[in-house]
Every structure is written in C-alpha cells, then in structure tokens.
Structure 1
C-alpha cells in the first residue's frame, strides 16, 4: 500500500491534465466548518494539535456529520501552541441549500458557535453572512506531498489576486487531482489546476459562472448526478452555476439514467461508470470516470424517472 502522506505515487495521467476529473467531487460534504489554524497540520484533521476551543469544535462537527477543514492564509505558518488563547476564526457553509451560503465569525468558547443551527441549515447567530466567495486550495503536505508541491504556488498566486478570499486548507479529497481548488459556498471542486486556470476559475465563479475544463463537480451530490450535469453542460454550453439541475436518476449497476433540466428544457442522459485507460496502461482500472451513452432532449411534459 502506498503511504500517501510521504509520497506522490498515482496512476499514469494524474497531475498531468490527462486524467479526466469529472464527477470526482466528494459526495458526503453538504455542510462545512472551516477553522483557522496556522500551526502544524497532522495527516488527519483529528490528529492535529489544536487549541482547546478549536479541538472542541472539530470534535463536535465530526459527531454531527459536518465536514471540517483547517485553513490558514497562504504562506502563513506558526509553531504549535502559539495560537492558544486567541479567538478562533471560523466559517460555516451550507453548499446544498436552495441558496448556498457561507458565514464567518470569531469564537472564544466552543458554545459560541451553534453547529446544531448549521445542521438545520440555519446561519448560527454568532456568524455573519459573507458577500464574497471563499476559495480553498489544498496544500496538505502531511497527507500527500503533491498537494503541497502543486497547491502552494496556486494558493500564493490566487491570494495575491484576491486578498482575503483565499485559504490554504487540509485534504479536500482526491489527492490524485492535485492541485485541488474548492469554491464556496457552492462547493465546486476543480483539480489538476495550473495557476492560470485557477485564476480563470476564480474570476468566473465571482461572476456566477464556472469553467468546465478541470471541473470535478459539486460537493454533496452523487457522482452519477455530477457526471450527468457535466455532460449536459458540455452539450448545451451552459456555464452559469445554477443553470443546470439533475431532477431524477435511476441506476442499475454501473449505468445511470438521469433527467436533467436546463432552463425550460429537459434532457434524458444515460451514463456509465468506466475505467480510464491512459495509453493502455495496466493500472488504468484504478482511475474511474464516466462516459455518456445517450443524450436526448425530451418534452417538458415527459414523466420524470422514478
């Protein structure tokens, strides 16, 4: 087994832009807790040495099924223990709400942040809604060396372009796609990013759009739905964040049939989970992706899948 905390060994095509990134965003993250901690990060968030308030928040979030990310300003590091006693900057986000949101606050005691409200989809009273998006770049070296080697330059460049909006973060999932970028509050995932591509993505997102190239999908949504959305976007050219929505899906084995709405039009799409095979390499079955088997426009009155 490869120890990814020390190495950066992945199947051919990874980190080169050759391997497809579509439909690879984490499916479990619907509500998020970001905790600023400039001290050292262990291989896992739970194993990091944190001030008492931050530790209690991380533990409570885990018990509630809230995804936790440690964050720090690009290039900002502090030794363990130096952040003890300070108020903790936090952000909370609901990426799959009807209108996704992100809010920010500073807490001195764990009870100052009502994570139960977050789970209910409500902004905690101690936090204020943010008007600007937040960008997370995975630079988690203890998790995977490539995340730091490829992510640090992007975090630095984005941070210079968008002061105060960019954070280095712990593992976001899919280290084979480093450098990874997450756009909040919608939870849009991108992978295998160059500096120029990251800037283009950030500019598009700030204007309410997305870039389909290197787009991994939206967090909290099943992979087949991510793939169905991707192919309909590619077919229609629709790049606004809310311009495409998966209405229903039906799966049998590796094949999924979905109905996807684009404005007043519906599409029926059939997709299949399959192995990515770069140049016929023997280890290709370790990289999975999706392909479209059928895509057709249907009448708005056509019954949706059940």
Structure 2
C-alpha cells in the first residue's frame, strides 16, 4: 500500500471506468439485510455512527451480527418529510426463491428493538424486492454524484420499491444498485441503463453487462455466473446453480448446472490475479489492489 496525496476533483468511479475495472465477482456477501429509514444526513460509518439510545443501538447491532445481517440506512429519493413515523425492515434471501420480508415502523429509538424478534422470524413471502441505490456521499462522493440521479430515475418508475441506501461496497462502481432480498448487485449504472436493467431483472432476464454478482455466492462463483450470462445470454436469478468449485493455485474451475432450455452442464475456468495498485475509492488514504477473476474458458457439455 502506498500513500495517496489528496487529488482535487478525483472521482474513483471515473478512474475505474478509464482503467476498465471488472465488476464481476464484487458483490458483498450476505443473505440478510436490516433496513432502517433515517431521513437526516448519514454519518460516514452509517448506522454505527448514528446518535441513538445506546442500549437499543447495541441490541440491534448484536442481533444483526448474530444473524449475519447487514444494517443499511435508507431514505426515499428526492424531497422527503423530516418528521413522522419511519420504517424498518428485515429482508431474507432463500435459495428456493421464496424470499421473505418483515416490515415495521419507528418514531422513538426504543421502537427499533422490534428488529430483534424480526431477525428471528422467517418473515412474509411474496412481496416484491426492494431496490436499494447507494447514495452515501459522506462515505464516498461518487455514491452521491452517480447514485442520486439513478435513485430519482428508478423512483419515478417504481416509487414504492426504491430507496437510497448507505454504503454497500464497491464505491468505484457507482452507481450501485442492490436488489434485496434477491441478493443481486448491479454497478456502473446511470439513469437510463438503470431503468432498463431493473425492468429486465423483473422479467427474469439478468444480463451480464452491469452485473456485479449474487450475494449468496463467493467472488469466483459470482464471476463464473457473469461469464455464463455473457456467453449464453440473460437468464433468471435461479436459472443457474453452482454445483462445484475447485481451486488449483491461481486457477479455478466452477461447475454450473442450467435449467432448460439453457445448457445443463457448464464448466467455467478462471484465472485469479491481482490488479495493478491504484486509488480504489475517492477518500482512500493509500493505493490498493484487488483480486480479479478472469474467465479463460466457458464450455458446455
């Protein structure tokens, strides 16, 4: 890691596009999300930085850690009321596709304690997924600069489903969208491409172009799925299943099974390498590199 001098006007998302950084395999892992509506400004550290009643805050944090849940602050795009009841939710991914959600409301800090039993509940199936757009400008300026226009565009199309959210990872891929509890990350979006991408998602046609990965898979498995979609065309969230992953040093082989009419057995070979050190976020104090998984072969039996 090398020190980075502050560069006026530097935007990590612009630099990532110039470098051609690969998004495949970069979705943050997780299958449970806690959403807490907070309409005022978000601290750089998100939920952990909020000035909440200490006991309730610690209770929710412990329950979220136990459940392996990610806690995100959310708010509606555009103008919003400063007062009145706010919402919270627990979203849970299931590999069967029967994703579950449980929603509540809060006015006083103590009301957030309702999240704790919700994390132990299976939740309700059948609700549409939530569209989360990272717009956490105090964490990374690119998230606000690129995320907010996308949030507004999607909010006009799906006003009941879209929320701006705090940091989800991969600032350099802003604008980032997370479909939860589907567990699908998209990146590199703008207002026009985001609407088309989410419309395709709801039609069970996930394209490779803006896909970062699925949150229930490891990074190399995510990259393999992206490679399969690029090779054989768009498919639904559960149309492909990873059945085996084998590593031999820097080489990986991922076996994938497809539902008809897609290929039944697919083998993806990938090479793991480290990227050239660069400044990966707008506010990074030093350069860094990441592991990139490059597909070298995608073949069906």
Place the TM-score, normalised by the shorter chain, in its bin.
Answer: 0.7 to 0.9
Deviation digits for residues 10-58 of structure 1 (CA, Å, limit 9, x no counterpart): 387414593221111012x221111111122111120123467973564
The separation in 1 between residues aligned to 2:9 and 2:253, in whole angstroms, is 38
- Partner of residue 14, structure 1: 16
What pairs with 1:167-206 in structure 2 (closer than 5 Å)? 167-206=163-202
Kindly state the Cα deviation for residue 3 of structure 1 after the two structures are TM-superposed.
Answer: 9.6
- Give me the TM-score of the superposition, normalised by structure 1: 0.80
Structure 1: gaps (5+ residues): 278-282, 299-306
Of the candidates 268, 283, 289, which is equivalent to residue 292 of structure 2? 289
The separation in 1 between residues aligned to 2:287 and 2:54, in whole angstroms, is 44
- Partner of residue 165, structure 1: 161
Residues 201 and 3 (structure 1), Cα distance of their counterparts in 2 relative to 1, 3 Å cut: farther
- Partner of residue 253, structure 2: 257
Q: Identify which range, 180-189 or 59-68, moves more after superposition.
A: 59-68
The separation in 2 between residues aligned to 1:239 and 1:17, in whole angstroms, is 28
* Contact 1:39–1:77 (CA under 8 A) maintained in structure 2: no
Q: Identify which range, 234-243 or 191-200, moves more after superposition.
A: 234-243
The separation in 2 between residues aligned to 1:15 and 1:189, in whole angstroms, is 18
* Contact 1:272–1:290 (CA under 8 A) maintained in structure 2: yes
Kindly state the Cα deviation for residue 2 of structure 1 after the two structures are TM-superposed.
Answer: 5.5
Of the candidates 215, 219, 223, which is equivalent to residue 219 of structure 1? 215
Q: Identify which range, 31-40 or 238-247, moves more after superposition.
A: 238-247
The separation in 1 between residues aligned to 2:55 and 2:95, in whole angstroms, is 27
The separation in 2 between residues aligned to 1:54 and 1:136, in whole angstroms, is 25
Matched pairs, number: 280
RMSD across aligned positions (CA): 3.1
- Partner of residue 268, structure 2: 269
- Give me the TM-score of the superposition, normalised by structure 2: 0.81
Q: Identify which range, 57-66 or 141-150, moves more after superposition.
A: 57-66
Runs of 4+, deviation exceeding 6 Å: 51-54
